[in-house]
Amino acid sequence: MYCVPYNYDMTVHEGGTYDKEFRWLVTELLTPVAIAGCTALLQVRKKITDADPILELTHITDPWAADGDSGIYILDDGVDPLLEGYWKIYIKDEDSLGLCDLHKDIGAVYNMFLYNTDDESILKQYGKFTIIAANARRVTV
């Protein structure tokens, strides 16, 4: 099966929540692609050659809820046609906190793969992943 590439640059603010929905459409027909039952994995690296990711998000099987776990949610439930083709990338504020350890913006790269029920990668979302350093610091007393 062919893996469809999709380039999208992401910007995350350190210590801030990132919440973005995406939808896969067949461009010519504007028809959504059914992704119910798919899984996903996203990894961010400062350099593409780095062995270890600085951030990794996995597929979350629970329904998405505000302040839920960071991860990738497949919103396509296979029943509601209005949800067909949708997924959400969600990063909680505490999971992005401290990524800019030198208080400098980070220019990184990421890949996210959607896998079908046969564990074949069917979509590769990729691009630049910028983390904007936070000025404010949480202080605990």
Side chain identity at residue 87, one-letter code: W
Give pLDDT, residue 18.
96
Is residue 96 within 8 A of residue 18, CB to CB? The reply is yes
Q: What is the pTM of this model?
A: 0.91
**pLDDT at 136 > cutoff 80:** no
Query: In terms of DSSP bridges, do strands 121-132 and 4-7 run parallel, antiparallel, or are they unpaired?
Result: parallel
How many whole angstroms separate alpha carbon 60 and alpha carbon 41? 10
The counts of H helices and E strands in the chain are 1, 11
- Domains of the chain and any CATH numbers: 4-132 (2.60.40.10)
| Three-class secondary structure of residue 24 per DSSP | coil
8 pLDDT more than 70:
yes
Report the pLDDT value the prediction gives residue 27, as an integer from 0 to 100. Answer: 79
Q: If we measure between CA atoms, which residue out of 110, 106, 98, 108 comes closest to residue 136?
A: 98
What tokens does 62 get?
A: 């629970």
Q: Identity (one letter) of the amino acid at 113?
A: F
108 has a pLDDT exceeding 80? yes
- The answer to whether the beta carbons of residues 126 and 26 sit under 8 Å apart is no
Q: Which residue has the tokens 């990184």?
A: 108
Q: How far apart are CA 37 and CA 20, in angstroms?
A: 20
pLDDT per residue over 12-62, tens digit each? 999 999 999 999 998 778 899 999 999 999 999 999 999 999 999 999 999
